[in-house]
Amino acid sequence: MSSHAICIMFSLHIILILLSGACKAAAAPNINQTTDTEDQEALLCIKSHLSTSKPAGALTTWGNSSLHFCRWQGVVCRYRWRHGLMAPRVTTLRLEEEGLAGKIPPCISNLTNLEHIHLPVNELSGSVPPELGQLRRLVYVNLSFNALSSMIPAELASCSRLSPPNLRHEEKQS
């Protein structure tokens, strides 16, 4: 093999090594590498306004410092671009039959990537917060079988992707 061919093969090898490093750097960061705490703070705010009748329910994992908030029970995240980086953002709250009581706080609107709110068969009371209208990605809301007022805030009309919310008040089935 000529020295020119060896030089070309060596150059190609170096290029492949550099490209493989660039691919690793471009990959989404590890879930524990994010420093964005906006969603975590919103979840903790929601938790502070609710109580639960289930001692081992979903909210017991919320605030656990050894778990990333995307691993808290009832929370689903997806990676989204934020400040030029991929970061995990809360897209779904799934807390069916968790014995949750209290009012849904306005700080739920701080979960700006929220698409699905699934909180049926709880003991939530009061009204549906009008701040939900700020959630432009919202496509699904199920608050059925709670003690919420039947008034749907007019602000939800700004959620153009939202299916009609489910707010049924029938008695819980045993």
3-state SS track over 11-65 = HHHHHHHHHHHHHHHHCCCCHHHCCCCHHHHHHHHHHHCEEECCCCCHHHCCCCC
pLDDT band at 84 (very low <50, low <70, confident <90, very high): confident
Angle at the Cα of 157 from the Cα atoms of 79 and 118, rounded to 5 degrees: 50
CATH fold, domain 31-158, is 3.80.10
Which tens digits make up the pLDDT trace of 18-57? 555 444 334 444 444 444 689 999 999 999 999 998 888 8
Listed residue (116, 171, 104) closest to 142, CA to CA: 116
For the chain, give every domain's residue range. 31-158
pTM confidence score: 0.74
